[in-house]
């Protein structure tokens, strides 16, 4: 859903869509592991960038391995694999599906002693000459490890390019609205974002576990919502989170482009 409009000879406005989705290894609440169902949901999101969490790289079934590759094939999007969360049943981790050129990617190790391995995927994408930096993560289950992980992420993000459009998103596993963790992250990002919608549990969402923050002098979030349908309510234990971002900047070209 990338759209670009020329207002005059020097200004352009882009609208891009970012999504974050914990796919729960494509295991639905109906007990069915259905990769095609998840791929259909991703296609219907019509997003330029989809941050994924809990993508299984091997399910132990000969005909159903490497979910990320299969999701990329089903959606026609490019894939970048992130750090894995090792589980007893299968390696599971973060990933990115996208339709923009890649400028660079990095893995951030957020693992804490005695806890499950955790990490973040840090990717620079090119939007017609603009750098879009997106960091996708899945934080730990304990509050103390999330505090350390957020401090690590904010430290890494502070080292980025000053003129980059920066997005932090993912399953933060933080549900208390007045938490110190969310306050610290909010203070480092733009404060004009809409309230985070509830995404968990998928059938009757009451907790805003999945989050998205934006930092940019030329962009704003015009809409932030959870995608609840009859299908998304059972396909995973989380609902997809969608953000439409409006970017206004000085054009480097006088061309008019519209991409659906």
**Rounded CA separation 223/76 (Å):** 25
Q: Is residue 219's pLDDT more than 60?
A: yes
End-to-end Cα separation, the chain, in angstroms: 5
Q: Is residue 3's pLDDT more than 80?
A: no
| Digit-coded pLDDT (tens) for 45-84 | 999 999 999 998 654 444 444 789 899 999 999 999 887 7
| Digit-coded pLDDT (tens) for 100-134 | 999 999 999 998 888 878 889 999 999 988 999 99
Q: Contact at 8 Å (CB) between 121 and 82? A: yes
Residue 256's pLDDT band (boundaries 50, 70, 90)? very low
């Amino acid at each position: 859903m990338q759209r670009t409009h020329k207002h005059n000879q020097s200004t352009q406005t882009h609208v891009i869509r970012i999504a974050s989705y914990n796919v729960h290894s494509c295991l639905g609440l109906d007990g069915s592991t259905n990769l095609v169902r998840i791929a259909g949901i991703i296609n219907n999101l019509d997003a330029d960038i989809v941050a994924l969490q809990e993508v299984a790289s091997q399910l132990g079934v000969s005909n159903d391995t490497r979910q990320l590759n299969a999701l990329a094939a089903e959606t026609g999007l490019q894939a970048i694999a992130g750090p894995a969360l090792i589980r007893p049943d299968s390696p599971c981790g973060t990933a990115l599906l996208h339709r923009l050129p890649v400028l660079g990617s990095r893995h951030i190790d957020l693992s804490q002693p005695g806890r499950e391995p955790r990490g973040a995927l840090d990717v620079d994408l090119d939007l017609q000459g603009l750098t879009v930096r997106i960091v996708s993560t899945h934080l730990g289950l304990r509050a103390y490890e999330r505090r350390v992980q957020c401090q690590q992420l904010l430290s890494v993000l502070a080292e980025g390019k000053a003129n980059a459009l920066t997005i932090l998103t993912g399953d933060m596993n933080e549900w208390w609205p007045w938490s110190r963790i969310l306050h610290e992250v909010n203070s480092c990002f733009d404060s004009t974002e809409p309230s985070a919608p509830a995404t968990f549990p998928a059938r009757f969402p009451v907790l805003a576990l999945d989050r998205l923050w934006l930092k940019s002098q030329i962009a704003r979030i015009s809409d932030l919502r959870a995608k609840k349908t009859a299908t998304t309510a059972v396909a995973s234990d989380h609902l997809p989170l969608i953000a439409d971002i409006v970017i206004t900047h000085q054009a480097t070209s006088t061309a008019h482009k519209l991409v659906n």
